Structure 1
Amino acid sequence: MARGAVVHHTGHMRWPPDLRDRVALVAGATRGAGRGIAVALGEAGATVLCTGRSSRTGPSRSDYARPETVEETAELVTRAGGTGIAYPADHLEPDEVQRLAAYLRAEYGRLHVLVNDIWGAERLKGGPADWNTPVWQHDLDAGLRILRLGVETHLITSHHLLPLLIAEPGGLLVEVTDGTAAHNAQLYRISVFYDLAKAAVNRLAFSQGHELAPRGATAVAVTPGWLRSEMMLDNYGVTEENWRTALVEDRADGLPTAAPGFAQSESPRYVGRGITALASDPDRARWNQQSVTSADLAREYGFTDVDGRRPDSWTG
């Protein structure tokens, strides 16, 4: 949904909503937005399968070599009030995702919410000094892996899991990306490969929504704003509790100062609450094929971030 579009306002919903009878799967739940989404669904009482490559027990690891694991996310879901289930899986491997679908079918027989939040190319996209590198100078292997991690994973996941989502009416597919369709259509984003990956995920929600609607399901693309992920907090040497320290100029600790726009940053739970609100809306089909921000959803449904704010880093 483009900014400025008129929507039917539902008012402030009861928070958290009641999703105790829903089964959700968050693909890419290890950290960042995926973890925030999984925990927010847990706040509402949902059963949440948390998938990703980083596990305490499995041999697979993400490209980041970070400490977060899917088991840790599942524990946070349960602590929030839901039922968290960790399922290590590499969504670039069709056989692994096919086994995931078989497990879900055998154990639960249904799927109400599928969130495609798979990414894993944050290091490959590089830092600001690497941005705007033209395609003929860009490392081709890195660029193609960005597309595999950011687009191919989503297609593999949908192929194997959407049959469960459409088994009964009312299913919700959420494609998580960076930037709305309208925003990305007007601006070049970092590199040809990154730009294509993020535009493609918005289009995936549109095209899959076309296929899902006759089967009673809904597809929506959702983008967080400036996200206070674990990696972002580490970059500025702050935590979720003291993140505003990153805005201080000439920091005594010598760590980098964030741009002023960081004041409108959001926790990963914010986009998670937006998706939870979508999942609990009986009229969610009105969002089919739309592209929205977490702030758009906050305005529509009346929820806030964990600190009581409603940030919007896409305005201004």
Structure 2
Amino acid sequence: MKDVVTLVTGGSRGIGRGIALALLAEGATVHVTGRTRFEADANVPERTGSLEGLEHEAATLPGRLFVHRCDHGRDADTERVAEEIRAGAKLDILVNNAWPGYENMVEDGHFTWPQPFWEQPDWRWDAMIGTALRGAFMMSRAVAPLMISARRGLIVNISFWAAQLYEGNAIYGVAKAAADKMAADFAHELSPHNVAAAALYPGLVRTEAVLRNADYFDMSNSESPQFIGHVIAGLWRDPKLMSKTGRVLVAAELAREYGIADVGGYRPIPLTAADFVRD
């Protein structure tokens, strides 16, 4: 991957950080966006997770890291980063991962995530649709011409089964369904240019937030944050990549196809829709 240039949005913590570290470990040049520049400014419960922290963690990896302070809720921020990428005249992989939708799940002592749609706070729609979804569209639109001119590229929207099944929050379902549809329609328009687009589903990922609440999860089949990054690298190397464009892809399923194992050699079991059906 030493000649591959990638952009991962929302990489100061969570899945995005793991994807960036995995791609750096494989030798890629990785651009990462994030709202939190310095560790002292982290405001999540762990009081950690920043572009500065990512830089420290990436220091010994073979790839080259470039960080960009960016709030994808502001189109001007997204465009500024895209302009910096375009200045390099090359982008192979875009991973649309930025996702503020899990913030503030508890408000005034109440866990608002599972409330019916008519009781959902307005900010949650703005975060999932106005920031995450719009940010993915705006960044994709800004960098697609680079891929088209090179006649090769890959856009990955990080999504989840909530796109297809009820997962406890109507706005969440709408956002993920739109991410899948966006990837499918991007693929339709990009295919003549030999550029692929897909929605990629992780399993249960051991992010900082999940580990903080590990007592509430069955962690036996969980995935490291880096796992999905190695899967994206495998997808890029797939000589039949264009046969997968426009599709919903399950990371653990691709890992089996490509012979990719997670940390410690564990091979996560791919989840299916049946795993989310509740009685």
TM-score when normalising by structure 2: 0.88
SS in 1 for 2:181: helix
Q: Any unmatched runs of 5+ in structure 1?
A: 1-18, 237-256
Distance 1:281 1:62 in 2: 39
Give the Å deviation of 1:62.
Answer: 7.4
- Corresponding position of 1:96: 77
Q: Any unmatched runs of 5+ in structure 2?
A: none
CA contact (8 A) 2:163 2:175 kept: no
Provide the aligned C-alpha RMSD in A.
Answer: 2.4
Give the Å deviation of 1:64.
Answer: 7.0
Indicate how the Cα distance of structure 1 residues 189 and 45 shifts in structure 2: closer, same or farther if over 3 A, else same: same
Query: 1:259-278 residue pairs with structure 2 within 5 A?
Result: 259=217, 261-278=218-235
Give the Å deviation of 1:98.
Answer: 1.5
Give the Å deviation of 1:124.
Answer: 4.2
Distance 2:46 2:125 in 1: 20
CA contact (8 A) 2:163 2:178 kept: no
Distance 2:31 2:52 in 1: 10
Give the Å deviation of 1:227.
Answer: 0.8
Task: In structure 2, give the amino acid aligned to 1:308.
Answer: G
For 2:95, which of 115, 133, 141 is the aligned residue? 115
SS in 1 for 2:155: strand
Give the Å deviation of 1:192.
Answer: 1.4
Indicate how the Cα distance of structure 1 residues 48 and 29 shifts in structure 2: closer, same or farther if over 3 A, else same: same
- Corresponding position of 1:165: 147
Task: In structure 2, give the amino acid aligned to 1:299.
Answer: R
- Corresponding position of 1:244: none
Residues 58-114 of structure 1 deviation map (CA, whole Å, 9 limit, x = unaligned):
98x7777842112322443442221111111112212122221221222x2110111
TM-score when normalising by structure 1: 0.79
- Corresponding position of 1:150: 132
For 1:229, which of 161, 185, 207 is the aligned residue? 207
Residues 37-71 of structure 1 deviation map (CA, whole Å, 9 limit, x = unaligned):
11111111100001111102998x77778421123
Query: 1:1-316 residue pairs with structure 2 within 5 A?
Result: 19-56=1-38, 66-106=47-87, 108-124=88-104, 129-179=111-161, 184-185=163-164, 187-236=165-214, 257-259=215-217, 261-312=218-269, 314-315=271-272, 316=275
Taking only the aligned residue pairs, the percentage that are identical comes to 32
Distance 1:22 1:277 in 2: 12
CA contact (8 A) 1:201 1:221 kept: yes
CA contact (8 A) 1:92 1:156 kept: no
Distance 2:4 2:231 in 1: 16
Larger radius of gyration: 1
Indicate how the Cα distance of structure 1 residues 268 and 196 shifts in structure 2: closer, same or farther if over 3 A, else same: same
Distance 1:189 1:233 in 2: 20
CA contact (8 A) 1:44 1:82 kept: yes
Task: In structure 2, give the amino acid aligned to 1:137.
Answer: E
CA contact (8 A) 2:156 2:199 kept: yes
Give the Å deviation of 1:129.
Answer: 5.0
Residues 120-143 of structure 1 deviation map (CA, whole Å, 9 limit, x = unaligned):
111245599534422222223333
CA contact (8 A) 1:47 1:82 kept: yes
CA contact (8 A) 2:184 2:198 kept: yes
Distance 2:106 2:151 in 1: 42
Task: In structure 1, give the amino acid aligned to 2:216.
Answer: A
Distance 2:190 2:43 in 1: 31
Distance 1:139 1:68 in 2: 26
Give the Å deviation of 1:24.
Answer: 0.6
Higher RCO, Cα 8 Å, sep 6+: 1
CA contact (8 A) 1:64 1:120 kept: no
Residues 189-234 of structure 1 deviation map (CA, whole Å, 9 limit, x = unaligned):
2221111011111111111111111111000111110110012112
Task: In structure 1, give the amino acid aligned to 2:229.
Answer: G
